[in-house]
Structure 1
């Protein structure tokens, strides 16, 4: 007698509860890290709390606080949240506010490396070697072994503090040509020591960083790694190497889930986002001479790419086939249909960015009517608002910063 064929398991409901490492989420939707531009002097503000309270109240399973710097020289903006004792009270107020809405909250940990702002930080930016940054018009300092050890240790210290102030998860940023990602890039990393050359060496910093976070927090909170699949730059880190790094992270046991991303904040920032490249809007918020450079040469740096729903799926499914780790699909998640596609492809979670800037209550609306689709038109005019408080200009053309902010009175 022939055995009865095994029926494929039904894809999970993206709006049903799910586990992420030690964490139980009320559903499988995550507010992706979109830099808010709403911290001040490295501290939480009421505006930042409101920013994350809205998607939490709108139904997401977890919201992600974008880019919390592990070291002073790792900030892309001098006002970014910096992990230090002075920030603890505000961070606790933030996590409490999100928990009160029934959602979990994650903190993105990172060191910007060659993308950092040396002028604002009053310290040279770090890279695997000497790298020119077109926006800051500066050269990085080649990271010494002492610098590397310091940054790795700082990730562990930051993760430990994240537990203390109530975060449910941390997202270790290994993408976008920030420090760990710049070491992964064969184009940017020309070192001839243990951190350069072979992929195993170029991946050493990323793996040590994730390991430091795991050693610091154990299984008290969930650990997500945000890893590039493609820098979008000729000669940069690409999918074939990303598959191997993902396998190593799984073998190391240092992370609970992977969120795959793409693009280079250093050389091709629009590659991640797809859609329009609003050059005039970027130029309007830039100081001179960067403003003039954007107007004259912006199309070379801020290139537009066609948008389609689930635009990272084709590459991400190749990572999915190589690892058993839970995976979060990022990029063009705009509807229940896309969520269901992700689940059917074997992804356990979805991450939503611009769609939730447009409609923070989108998850609730989809739960009420599966035909609902995001109203986001992918104009990307939200991106230049990073400098004045990230928001959808179609909802609020002015943004969240008022007179109290300009007077410096909004830090909690």
Structure 2
């Protein structure tokens, strides 16, 4: 079957063009300005045609906590946000620390057929922090990287071993950068706002110390370290230093860390409670500058669903985490409208760079021969992100029932339409 996407503006990391996209089967076969006959025609007038987004950091809670989300609902939530490839973290129940769990997760996603699910395996067995997993077996099963996200790898010896072994498999380690000895049971960023609210704070140094250690271990081992959910200005300064010295280090920033500051907690809204916590306005500006300058490699959502009952408690008792997949596009487009990044840079951060880091040669670009994973985005569409649009089983987003601008109105996975925004196109 031949599909034609016509009259759209194709956005790639290296430029934009007004042209038509011709798809046969799972593959883009032609980019042309000529009229083409096709079985399916999609008129994308006024729309942006972008590579399907790649989210390097999600939590689907499957297996073990499927009442929050699972691979099926997670896949549906992803494509509703223009995301066609997801990397779920290993903090499931049981933990994804062996090949059988990795295979089961991939098989469930393939059965639903909406996204490519590329699991991240645990670094240590049972998240206990002492023995690394059988990386070779897990990579053979389909794992693409390793992280104990949700917990740091506290032992420098164990992290060194993980970097050495992952390097041998041409893979990498994703660091949840946290010095837990500095957490002191904190529930938000330590600063003036935590003092006003009377809540225990966590200093940004708890993140920065861990970033410093891991960049030094990457220098020692020549392994690749990827710093997850950077939230501190000083973390970015350390990453910049490491990169100048030739250390193999990449990093990601989540939309909530460039969109909200700790002052949003003045209402005690637990939907703004996350880890790492929302930082100061200065840190928010530093995240934006890192995105603008090219220092930050990836925007990743850290999509972390929680049941309403778990969040509807005292602030101290609520779990950390926020939904992110369906708000990725509007929050990132807000940076474009603010002049922080260009549309080309948006594609670089959400698709091209993740594809490069993950060695996905057929993703991350709208071009002949590439896999037809495509997000058609209306940058001016205004809508209320309500429970009818929300595809997650959970509702823990402070943006729920808010008016947003910009959305993926149609998502294609391997040439098939897998999502249509209601009443669009």
TM-score scaled by structure 1?
Answer: 0.43
Please identify which structure carries the higher strand content. 2
| Greater relative CO (CA pairs within 8 A, separation 6+) | 2
TM-score scaled by structure 2?
Answer: 0.42
